[in-house]
Amino acid sequence: MKLYFYGSNRLERREESGVGIIAFAIPDIGFLFRSAHRGNALECEYHALLTLCRFVEANTGLFKGQKLEFLGDSTAAVYQVSRPDGSFRLVDHSLKDSTAPLPMANGESSRLLERLRAFKKKLGFSLLWVPLSENRAAEEAACHPTVKNSPLSEKLNTSFLEAFGPKKNSDPGLSSF
């Protein structure tokens, strides 16, 4: 079963922290989740993947016996979660030196990375990169979801949403961070 995740902070300088979005989509069950989130681009990607992991954990009956493929368009998130040392270089033939370092996890991102690696081991999913245009959780693709099975045959466990409970935040526009 293919499960897509997406995160972005909507800032021109993606390494800066700002308001963004996290999302995941599971077309086989017709499920799309979106929430506002504050963080840099990598943190938003990590939180999108973490939220998807929590959903899968809370709804194990939906995924029992399924081979799970988690798909995201963030090269940094996919490689850093997949590789034990978290290091990688992306070959980009359009650049003069042909390699471009991508952001490494640090601080909050490092803590998230360790949690994601633990979930990957626990849930046994494969983590793969897809182009943005094929990411069903990304905003552009999510506008046209394909639902194979609707409605769901069982009730969803939404306990994964507890992580989004009310918290104090200095920004009045961010009531659920």
Residue range 133-155, pLDDT digits in tens: 999 999 765 554 444 444 455 56
pLDDT number for residue 83: 81
pLDDT number for residue 100: 39
Q: Where does 2-164 sit in CATH, by number?
A: 3.30.420.10
**Residue predicted with more confidence, 4 or 175:** 4
Give the start-to-end residue ranges of the domains of the chain: 2-164
d(CA 95, CA 111): 31
Strands (E) in 9-139, as ranges, are 18-26, 31-39, 69-72, 89-91, 99-101, 126-129
pLDDT digits (tens, 9 = 90+) for 117-129: 999 999 999 999 9
